[in-house]
Each structure stands twice: as structure tokens, then as C-alpha cells.
Amino acid sequence: MKNGIEKITHLFKQIHEINNQHIDLWSEHVLFTWQWWFGLFLSIIPWVIWFLFRKKDSTLRLLTAGFLMMFIASWLDSIGIQLGLWYYHYEVIPFIPAFIPWDLSLIPVVTMVILQIKPHVSPYIKGAVFGIIASYIAEPFFIWIGLYEPIIWKHIYSLPIFFILYVIAHFLCHGKAYRAL
């Protein structure tokens, strides 16, 4: 058992050293670049726009769905990075392995906007549109501008994930608990 603990301790020290090197590189080569400013913009502006134009009487249920999307997107993004499926070149904050503008802003805000628009349209159609836009427009755009680097990930893999995430958010947002409010 002691040998296993020693190996874990050794790996932790290596991870800590690599994280320190990553922070140094980020400070020297990422912070304040146009890509960093773009990421900061994408982290804040969608929330400001949503706050100004949201359906005020639906704020609680929309935020519930948005926060669920934030949690799941961040979790899946972190797993993908740790498994070596993809990585990001220009993180807004180097301490979080996921891409904040995508996970904590664009995905939840776009989901909340789609939930508000044409609420009687099938969630499966809206989920398909969300999945196609996120997988085949947003992801390639982030690759094109150099923010996102897929290693062994294809856009087609993202499509069902975004579809399922949207459908879950829809049913959470339109569930019985919120009909009573």
C-alpha cells in the first residue's frame, strides 16, 4: 500500500510542477492576447445580453436549466481534456481545465435563449438545431481562430451530446415543478 501512496505523491508533485509551468506560459504567451480578450468578452457579454433581454418571469427556470448546462458542460469538458481528447490554447483562467467562455457562458446562455424562443416547437427539433450549430459551426470556428484543438475528437461525436443536453435542459425547464410557480 505504501508503494501506491508514494507513486500517487510523486505523480501529484509532477502535476503540480506542470501546472506551475502552464501558468508561467499562460502569463507570458496568452494573457492579454487578442484571443484572451475575445475569451473574456465571450465570458461576460452573452450573460449581459441575456440579462437584458430575458423573459423576466421565467428567470428562475431558465437559470436552473442554464446552471445545469454549465455543470455538465464543465464536467464533460474537463474529462475530455484529462483524457487527451482535446485542449485549449488560450484559456481565460489557467487554473480551470475547461474553456470558461464555452462552458460557463455560451452553452448555458444559448440554451436559455433557445428555451425562450418559440416555446411550443418540439424540444427535439430545437435540440437538433442546437447540436448542429454547436458541433458544426461553433466548434469549427473555435478551431479556425486557434482557441480549440481536437486531438482524437470529431464534430459528429459532439452532436448527440449537445442534442441530449438541450433536451434535458428543456424538460428540466418545463417540468411540473415550474408549472406551479
- Rounded-to-integer distance, Cα 85 and Cα 77, Å: 9
**pLDDT class of 179 with cuts at 50, 70, 90:** low
pLDDT tens for each residue of 88-132: 999 999 988 788 999 999 999 999 999 999 889 999 999 999 999
Pair 9, 36 in one domain:
no
Pair 19, 73 in one domain:
no
Pair 21, 86 in one domain:
no
Pair 103, 84 in one domain:
yes
- Is residue 158 a contact partner of residue 136, using CB atoms and an 8 Å limit? no
pLDDT tens for each residue of 63-84: 999 999 999 999 999 999 999 9
Pair 47, 87 in one domain:
yes
Mean pLDDT of the chain: 93
Question: pLDDT exceeding 90 applies to what percent of the chain?
Answer: 86
Residue 2 domain boundaries: 1-30
- Rounded-to-integer distance, Cα 6 and Cα 127, Å: 47
All three cell numbers of 17, joined, read 510542477
Pair 46, 17 in one domain:
no
Pair 119, 133 in one domain:
yes
The amino acid sitting at 24 is D
Domain count, the chain: 2
Distance of alpha carbon 61 from the chain centroid: 19
Beta strand ranges found along the chain (DSSP E): 86-88, 148-150
pTM over 0.85: yes
Pair 44, 83 in one domain:
yes
Pair 84, 172 in one domain:
yes
Pair 40, 111 in one domain:
yes
What mean pLDDT is predicted for residues 132-136? Answer: 97
Pair 113, 57 in one domain:
yes
All three cell numbers of 27, joined, read 502569463
Pair 24, 80 in one domain:
no
